[in-house]
Amino acid sequence: MGRGLFYLRLAQRAAARAIAPARDHEATTLDRAMMQRALDLAREAGAMGEVPVGAVVYRGDEIVGEGFNRREVDQDPSAHAEHIAMLDASRRLGSWRLDGCSLAVTLEPCAMCAGLIVNARVPRVVYGARDPKAGFAGSLGNLLVDERLNHRVRPIAGVLERESSELLKRFFAELRKRKR
Ligand SMILES: [Zn+2]
């Protein structure tokens, strides 16, 4: 590769990084292990007929909160996986501040959950599949890095993305089949 081309690529990569959240390669082995646990929780949700999304809050290598989507079973519009996992973590830690924690969730957080992430001062969020219809961690907007807010989160997108989105795709394909 010529030197000019090399620097062009470098600049392009830097520009792409400025807009998009960091990609999978910035996730650690621990993040990926936690995402595997979140995927297990998502499968639990799917088995209950819920849209399969799962989430884990962890501090170091210790899980301090877990949740999966329970919107149908609870008939609760706020019963999203990461919402439940954060409330679980706050209860267990006895603190509304989750500032020493990371959150792994299989689907990009919506506006409500991104808002809670900011309010709970979670410093790092790792997510799997993008949500082009409701995601507010890069897709429709990004509340996690909004400079007008008093807390900024580091989003790491695309961790076990294929597994996370396959799970969702299979769920919706199955749903369509049953409706026919
Ligand atoms: Zn949400």
Model confidence over 95-116: pLDDT tens digits? 999 999 999 999 999 999 999 9
Q: Is the pLDDT of residue 19 over 60?
A: no
Q: Are 35 and 104 in contact (CB under 8 A)?
A: yes
pLDDT at 17 over 90: no
Q: State the pLDDT confidence band at 10, using cuts at 50, 70 and 90.
A: low
Among residues 93, 110, 109, the alpha carbon closest in space to that of 58 is found at: 93
CA of 110 to the centre of ligand 1 (A): 4
| Model confidence band, residue 26 (pLDDT cutoffs 50, 70, 90) | confident
- Residues 143-180: tens digit of each pLDDT: 999 999 989 898 999 999 999 999 999 999 999 998 87
How confident is the model over 77-103, as a mean pLDDT?
98
pLDDT at 16: 54
- Reference 121, options 151, 145, 91, 143; nearest CA is 151
Which residues 6+ apart lie within 8 Å of 66 measured at CB?
Answer: 37, 41, 54, 55, 56, 57, 84, 85, 88
For the four alpha carbons of 130, 136, 139 and 145, in that order, the dihedral sign comes to: negative
State the average pLDDT for the chain.
Answer: 91
pLDDT given for residue 7 in this prediction: 60
Catalytic site positions: 82
Separation of 17 CA from ligand 1 center, angstroms?
25
State the distance from the centre of ligand 1 to the C-alpha of 134, rounded, in angstroms. Answer: 8
Q: What is the CA radius of gyration of the chain?
A: 17
Burial state string for 82-102 with b = 16 or more CB within 10 A and e = fewer than 16: bbbbbbbbbeebeeeebeebb
Please tell me the pTM assigned to this model. 0.85
Is the Cα torsion angle 68, 74, 80, 86 positive or negative in sign? Answer: negative
